[in-house]
Each structure stands twice: as structure tokens, then as C-alpha cells.
Amino acid sequence: MMKMCENNINCDENIVFHHNLCYIADMSTRILVAEADVSVCEIIKRCALEEQWQTDEAKDGIAAVKLLRRREYQLLILSAELPVISGPMVLAAMGERPRIPIIFIGKSGAEEDRLAAFEAGGNDYVQKPFFPRELVARMRNLLGLYGIEGAKRDVLTAGPIRIERHAQSVFSADRPIKLTPREYNLLLTMVSRPGHAFTREALLGAAWGEAFEGGDRTVDTHIKSLREKLQPHHGCIKTLWGIGYKFSER
């Protein structure tokens, strides 16, 4: 269900209200859920939302391969029984194993099926049906082991910019900045990884989500507005011609 945010901007369900402003939930940790069973997907999505993790879905193996090649993820939940091509075959089709933690989920508890998942490159195997809180604990542990997300840093600081995630507040040299939901997610994405080159497509996915059908030049418009609000520290957002943008601490 779509909701309307400040300035009549359409937002998805990942919404947090603070001081009468509407913000999209933090999307700095993005997870791909490759699972054909809609009910299982919904359980995982609810768990991820509680942790303020963003999720994309793939209903078959081909869709999973395409998303893994297009986007950057921090964790992969991979069904062993995906249609078209199976979970292990997804990893084989990638050529090189994605450098992210991978949790296989499957109906079988047989030793050979578990071993097949680990041999394919999985870090963990969870049998369906599973306890949601246990799955979240396993996800947290792997994210921590990979150095992707520890105790979920509450305050991010890069150069003159400070983001307080619990309140979704932004400060430029201790001056509070009022941002729209899209601007907030764009800035949060870049500040989370200073110096990293983000394509327009990656930033579009972080701020608008997978379902957005507009052009990636929409990012340019919002970056321009974001820079204006960050004055005199607007130079922290660097344009990478032909690529996209990055956040520089200097």
C-alpha cells in the first residue's frame, strides 16, 4: 500500500514518523530474498523491516542472478528449491561467489542437502519451517562476522555531516538539516560508505526501491537539492562523471 509523505511524495511501507515528518526506514543494509514461497518471503520481509533492513525479492533463480549482477547486497537469503534454476545453481551461474554472507533455506533436513548448500558456497543452512527470531539472529551474526553491521551504528559521522539514525536527524557542522525522505536515504547511503562510488542506479534503488520505474536522472535532481541544504559543506558530495556520486570526508 502506498502512503503519501511530506510534499505529497509517494513512499512505500518502510516508514518512520518523527516530529511530524515522514521518513523511509534506513536502507543502508540491503538483503536479497530469493524465495518462491510468498508466505516465507513475507515473514523474512517483516523480520528485516524490524531490523531496518531493506529487502528485494527474487521469485526464481534467473531473477536472483539478474539482481545479484545489477545491485550490491549485504546478505543473500537463498532458497535451495528455487524454480527455473536452484539455489546452488544460482551461485554457480554467478561464476564468482558473491562476497557476502549467504544463508540457504530449504525444506529438506537431510545431510546431503545441507552439505550441498555449504559446498555451493553457503555460510549457513536453515530448514523450513523456521523460527523467525532464530533466522534474524543468524543474519545478525553473519553481518557482524563480515564486518557489514555490528551493533548497528546509531550515529554516523563523516566529515562535517552527522546522522543520528534513531531519530533520523541530520546535522551539518552541528546545524540541524531538514531533509525529505528521499534526500535522507540518499545521504545515509553515501555517508555509510565514504569514498565509495555509487552509480545512479544504486542510489535510485536505495532511495526509491526496486519498484520505481522512473529514470535515474531523478537522482541528479535530488542531489542538487541535497547539496543546497548542506551548504557550505555541499562539496562533500562529489560528482563522478559517467558513473554517479560519492561522499568525500574532505
Residue 79 parent element (H or E): strand 75-79
If we measure between CA atoms, which residue out of 89, 40, 86, 98 comes closest to residue 60? Answer: 86
pLDDT for res 213: 61
Q: Where are the domains of the chain?
A: 30-145, 153-247
Strand 198-199 with 244-247, pairing: antiparallel
- For residue 232, whether the previous peptide bond is cis, meaning omega lies within 30 degrees of 0, is yes
Whether 142 and 130 have beta carbons less than 8 Å apart is answered as no
pLDDT, average across residues 3-28? 36
pLDDT, average across residues 111-116? 92
Residue 113 CB-half CA count within 13 A = 16
The answer to pTM > 0.75 is no
Q: Which CATH code of 2.40.160.40, 3.40.50.720, 1.25.40.10, 1.10.10.10 fits the domain covering 153-247? A: 1.10.10.10
User: Residue 156: which pLDDT band, with cuts at 50, 70 and 90?
Assistant: confident
Give the whole-angstrom CA distance, residue 70 versus residue 241: 20
pLDDT for res 27: 45
Helices 218-229 and 200-208: crossing angle, nearest 10°?
Answer: 80
Checking if the pLDDT of 21 tops 70, the result is no
**Secondary structure (3-state) at 6:** helix
For 181-200, what is each residue's pLDDT tens digit? 889 989 988 888 888 888 88
Which superfamily is assigned to 30-145 in CATH? Response regulator (3.40.50.2300)
Higher pLDDT pick, 152 / 224: 224
> What's 235's DSSP letter?
G
Strand order in the sheet with 30-34: 54-58, 30-34, 75-79, 102-106, 124-127
**Fold equal for 30-145 and 153-247:** no
For 56-88, what is each residue's pLDDT tens digit? 999 999 999 999 988 888 999 999 999 999 999
Question: Which spans in the chain are helix H?
Answer: 38-50, 61-70, 87-93, 111-120, 132-145, 181-192, 200-208, 218-229
